[in-house]
Amino acid sequence: PAGSNYDTVKIKIKELNEYCRNLLSSIDRVYINSNNNCLPYVLNFSVKGIRAETILHYLSSKGIYVSSGSACSKGHQSYVLKAMGLSDDLINSSIRVSFCRSNTKEDVEKLVLEINNAIDNLIKVWLEFKNERSNISKIRRNCFKGFK
């Protein structure tokens, strides 16, 4: 019957969602926003300290397409995530992954690998920027020492 195919697909998607949730949960900066009772077709999470748009651009450069916020938040901060009690920082860094019948475990693994890479690369860039900024301040202090 038609219903059994739907059930099979739903079970597969639920397993992918749980697999993704478990892998993402192992990353320090990742906070899972979706509760365990949500429909399995969507998983919402935040990467603490990194704006969603930054992660979206990084992932899209790797051929991974996800969304930010919640489905009800196009162009605005999500009132759904706000009602869930999330902080503005978590809301502004929230990513929404949609699952469908054609997704695989390999897709999930690639997503999680690239989230990890994005975090590592962005932290590295930030530290380089911070160090460079510190060096510029030292140069300015030394170059203009005593200059009034």
Which active-site residues does the annotation give?
Answer: 72
SS3 22: helix
Residue with tokens 């990194």: 50
Question: E-strand spans in the chain?
Answer: 30-32, 42-47, 67-68, 94-98
- Show contacts of 78-86: CB within 8 Å, 24+ apart: 81/33, 81/44, 84/33, 86/33, 86/46
Paired with 23 in beta bridges are none
Q: How far is CA 141 from the centre of its chain?
A: 39
Calpha distance 109→69 (Å, rounded): 22
